[in-house]
Structure 1
């Protein structure tokens, strides 16, 4: 009996000791895990704060030493935006002191239908009308400045008679700023005209193409057919231009023989 009791007591003591040890171990592990989490959090916080401090430092230094390009562009954009205006919003104003930018009689390639003086008009008051833009002042056209901007470039103007008028006007403006020996002009063809400033190595060309797309005439019926999925056959000559100006519209509503 005594021996049996002694064995049972030992087992109970051993079991109690093991349970107590396990509880203590679990408790200690829990404390160590919290301590580890705290240390890790503290370390990462310190690392993040220090990295932010370094970033702030370098950002501040870069701002002081080198201004941000995008902010400069934005400020310039704001300035331009405040000064911008719609050049098509304005009115014609009569100015007695004004003078035309070129003399019609001294532009030999100006067509008769757009030369009022050549057609006998006696009142020249319209030549003193200036376009005044609402909200801003448009600088007067400077032929030499334009030629400098077009140096080494090729400009093509394509369309109907409206764009032909634009070509004649621009060509005369540039022609008036140069001696005749420095200019080459060819207006013999009705479908192609060219102005070239030799010294500036630039050209302004006009191509007659009222529809901008291919126009074919049916030989049997005589009907004029537009092929909307094909550019004008003359478009091959447009390649290589630096600046292209197109217009179309008027010819699309023609009736009778000119209807397409």
Structure 2
């Protein structure tokens, strides 16, 4: 009986304990649910959690190694307007008809933009977050950096991993030849045109033979790719390949240098009276009160080959907010390609895009450019800083051009990587110089592009990378430096190149790929 009585007592105690455990579990479950619910409703609660110091989130991974390529040149180019000449005057006459772009809500676009910015910033170093202000003083855009870091949660990171965003995107797309890997060698057949000639196409401020400069060894070097042979450039062969075709450079003043270089290369620097000015066919006419048109277009009648340049320093569409006002601000549509491309892409067979050095706060303010996305002023802090806006624009224009390629099967499109500047011992306005007369290392052996933003933008598209950054980085002696036609002392130009010079090689690489 004792055993029976004791057994019943133990069972009763066990039942009571079981009920208490279940009750405790239920209470814990309810509390946890309330905590999670409040956490989701109140994101700032995460600030009370200790930071994870073992695995910090890094938007700028150490494994991405590259040469320091500064893209924030602040100097207003001599003799060049900051904004397109057609926007400087007569704004009331501009065509303000709405382009047929799909309407995108700000919320939806910001989500897309966020992913693009994160993808592009994964390839940046911390130096890319520094941008010159209008007075030339470097200022860290910490608010943009903080905004980006704060916005990347585990869900975003997971989706980025699924889309391959966490993988390095600086590798050049596999192709028959990596033209950016090789070395500079002396060549007897250089330069390809006379530095004293080509006055029909070459701006005097870039013709270093007409200045006080006395060393011209920079004209004698030829680029030799390491893993393949590159055809020698001849004007006749270029015109043959481009018979009945149009080649267009769209970009900033470095794109204009490449355009003038090609005109000199094709003609050998000789006067050619039969070359036709066909700028009017592409809307490239000088407006009332403008110093020059937005670009130039010339046709070689022997082969019906057209070479043109269109000034678009930012590679995005810019239009006056109030076309009736002479002092209006300008909408800078980061998600739209230049209207020129939309209007004339069907007439182009080879397109070369470039941008980079005009992306700084000083020039945006001077131009009165206001960032727009989705047809409205941008309100997203993640893309409001200069680096984010630039990268978003590059990705957007490449994506748009890539979407147009199926409609234009004969079109070959290239994004030219950034042209490096070489200021030593200071900046452009603080005594920076580039007085060297000898190049640096003449060999470039890296397999990756020194411009990871451009490389990342074209990755997975049919737009090709014209990779000139690495081979140009070692040619610091090729800049205009302190020389000028008037021999007036002033700031050194360590951004633009002497012609003939390094941009000729950019065109040889282009020639090899068309």
Equivalent residue, structure 1, for 2:307: 204
Match of 2:186 among 88, 94, 97: 94
- What is the aligned counterpart of 2:339 among 219, 222, 233? 233
Provide the TM-score with structure 2 as the length reference: 0.31
Q: CA deviation at 1:208?
A: 0.6
What secondary structure is seen at the aligned counterpart in 2 of 1:88?
coil
Match of 1:70 in 2: none
- CA shift for structure 1 position 214: 1.9
Q: Specify which structure has the bigger relative contact order, considering alpha-carbon pairs within 8 angstroms and separated by 6 or more residues.
A: 2
Q: Give the distance between the partners of 2:213 and 2:269, measured in 1 at CA.
A: 25
Q: Which residue is 2:356 aligned to?
A: 249
Partner of 1:123: 215
TM-score by length of 1: 0.59
**Equivalent residues of 1:98, 1:129 under 8 A apart:** no
1:110-149 pair list within 5 angstroms: 110-149=202-241
Which stretches in structure 2 are left out of the alignment for 5+ residues?
Answer: 1-174, 280-285, 287-291, 370-514
**What is the aligned partner in structure 2 of residue 78 from structure 1?**
none
The CA RMSD measured in Å over matched residues stands at 2.8
- For residues 1-260 of structure 1, what are the structure 2 equivalents within 5 Å? 84-95=176-187, 97-108=188-199, 109-176=201-268, 180-185=272-277, 189-217=292-320, 223-235=329-341, 236-255=343-362, 256-258=365-367, 260=369
The 1:229/1:86 distance shift into structure 2, 3 A limit, reads closer
More strand per residue: 1 or 2? 1
2:198–2:271 Cα contact (<8 Å) kept: no
What CA distance in whole angstroms lies between the structure 1 residues aligned with 2:297 and 2:212? 27
Change (3 A) 1:94 1:254: farther
Runs of 4+ in 1 over 6 A off after TM superposition: none
More helix by share: 1
Secondary structure of 1:103 counterpart: coil
1:186 to 1:165, Cα distance in 2 relative to 1, 3 A:
farther
Compute the displacement of 1:249 (Å): 2.4
* d(CA) in 2 for partners of 1:228, 1:115: 35
Question: How far apart, CA to CA, are the structure 1 residues paired with 2:193 and 2:212?
Answer: 18
Separation in 2, partners of 1:145, 1:168: 18
Deviation at 1:167, TM superposition (A): 0.7
User: Structure 1 unaligned runs (5+)?
Assistant: 1-82
Secondary structure at 2:227 match in 1: coil
